[in-house]
Amino acid sequence: MSYVRKGLNGSDVYVWSDGICYVCQECDINGAMNYVAYTPSEMIEHLMEHRSNGYNVPDSAIEKLKNEKI
């Protein structure tokens, strides 16, 4: 499942899940390597780090992650 894709709604990140983990694909903060989180809240924290570094992360991505079952 994709939570947000680069370019859509001006997003600077691509976040998806395979049902086991959450991935920030080719993460600019992580040296263009994938960042992997194991809970929605961990990925939300990571996306907030993106925001604090000036990256555009749409609110919709955060909301979708908040609605996930942990």
In order along its 70 residues, the chain shows pLDDT tens digits of 999 999 988 999 999 999 999 999 999 999 999 999 999 999 999 999 999 999 999 999 999 999 987 5
User: How many DSSP H helices and E strands does the chain contain?
Assistant: 2, 4
Residue 27 placed within a domain: yes
Tell me, yes or no, whether 69 lies in a domain: no
Q: Which pLDDT does position 35 carry in this prediction?
A: 98
The total of structural domains in the chain comes to 1
pTM of the model: 0.93
Residue 62, Cβ neighbours under 10 Å: how many? 19
User: Which residue type occupies 56?
Assistant: N
65 lies in some domain: no
Indicate whether 70 belongs to any domain: no
- Domain hosting residue 38, numbered range: 2-53
Number of neighbouring beta carbons within 10 Å of residue 43: 24
